[in-house]
Amino acid sequence: MATTSDTLALLPFARRYARALLGTQAAGDAVVARAIGMRLDDVPPQLALYAAITRLTAEDGTAGAIPPLSRHLLLLTAVEELSLADAAMAVGLDPAEADRRITFAREAVRSAVVTKVLIIEDEPIIAMDLRMLVEDCGHTVIGVAATEADAVRLAAEHSAGLILADINLGRGGNGINAVRQILTRMEVPVIFVTAYPEDLLTAEGLEPAFVMRKPFDRFMLAVFTYQAISGGYVPLP
């Protein structure tokens, strides 16, 4: 049985999973709040929390070509970095069926629609790596902004289908502030990138729906991109 301290330590991960699944902070956090009260003592605490969220959202999830439970498996393995066996336990499937479903989901992600991406990142080397990963996923980079002002300007000049934003822009400001300014003029899905995602998953105020931790690989980026684009959600008012 999970203790209160166990549950508190796991909340940021549960919020990341639920928000990425449902596409908004409010929807994700509401599901997590309900999941905390569910008793699933036959599995480890972390899997129990993921399992409760899965049960509460088994028929939900953003629209797209991947069925709900397959999306759950995809997020649990690619984003939460569970083994396939643990992810299968969390969604209530036997390993063979889970393997079949996640194979389909991965193929769907690889063949997903591509879009135009604006990158907000102040570190040149990281920005270059991000550009390469984004382009390797098949997307087009319309620009790289190192400051809030550059981000707002580039967003106004180009029609982005997705924004990939770092949080801390050093002297150039803050990625969340830049995104807030952009979203007053247009609706576009946003993925925030940070080395410390738990700092943005406290549910204490307005927070992003999609938060990707550093470092990440090509497939993790592809999964987040698929979720953001297929849902088309705007993460911050």
Helix/strand/coil (H/E/C) assignment for every residue in 85-126: HHHHHHHCCCHHHHHHHHHHHHHHHHCCCCCEEEEECCCHHH
Give the chain's residues under pLDDT 70.
1-6, 39-41, 59-64, 199, 203-206, 231-237
131 in the same domain as 70: no
Task: Output the pLDDT for position 222.
Answer: 86
Q: Which structural domain range is residue 34 located in?
A: 4-110
Total structural domains within the chain? 2
Query: Do both 97 and 193 map to the same domain?
Result: no
Q: Can you tell me whether residue 65 is helix, strand or coil?
A: coil
CATH for 147: 3.40.50.2300
Q: What is the C-alpha to C-alpha distance for residues 82 and 80, in angstroms, rounded to an integer?
A: 6
pTM, whole model, 2 decimals?
Answer: 0.77
One domain for residues 122 and 192: yes
Looking at the structure, tell me whether residues 96 and 30 fall in a common domain: yes
Which pLDDT score, from 0 to 100, does residue 64 have? 59
- CATH number for the domain that contains residue 20: 1.20.140.160
Read off the pLDDT of residues 25-72 as tens digits, 9 standing for 90 and up: 888 889 999 998 786 667 788 899 999 999 898 765 554 578 888 889
- Domain shared by 133 and 212, yes or no: yes
pLDDT of residue 237: 44
- Taking the C-alpha atoms of residue 90 and residue 46, their distance in angstroms, rounded to an integer, is 9
Whether residue 154 lies inside any domain: the answer is yes
Query: What pLDDT was estimated at residue 43?
Result: 75
Residue 157 makes CB contacts below 8 A (sequence gap 6+) with 143
**pLDDT number for residue 231:** 63
- The tokens of 178 are what? 């830049």
- Of all helices (H) and strands (E), which one includes residue 55? helix 45-56
Which of 83, 110, 137 marks a domain boundary? 110
212 and 141 housed in the same domain: yes
Distance CA 191, CA 202 (A): 17
pLDDT of residue 4: 66
